[in-house]
Amino acid sequence: MIHEKAPAKINLTLDVLGKRPDGYHEVEMIMTTVDLYDRLTIEGAKGGKIVIKSSDRYVPDDRRNLVYQAADLLRRRTGIRDGVTFTLDKRIPVAAGLAGGSSDAAAALRGLNRFWKLGLSLDELAELGAEIGSDVPFCVYGGTAFATGRGEQIRHLPAPPNCWVILAKPDIGVSTADIYGRFDLSRARHPDIGAMEAALHAGDYGGVCRNLGNVLEPVTMDMHKEVAMLKDGMERFGADAVLMSGSGPTVFGLVSQEARVARIVNGLNGFCPEVHAVRMLGGPHSARLD
Q: Which residues are catalytic?
A: 9, 135
Q: What is the identity of the amino acid at 88?
A: L
Burial of 210 (0-12, 13-18, 19+ CB in 10 A): middle
3-state helix, strand, coil in the chain (%, to 5): 35, 30, 35
Measured CA to CA, the distance from residue 11 to residue 4 in angstroms comes to 22
Cβ–Cβ < 8 Å for 29, 146: yes
Strand runs labelled E in the chain: 2-19, 25-45, 50-54, 83-89, 144-148, 153-156, 164-169, 213-214, 241-244, 251-255, 274-279
Q: What is the identity of the amino acid at 179?
A: I
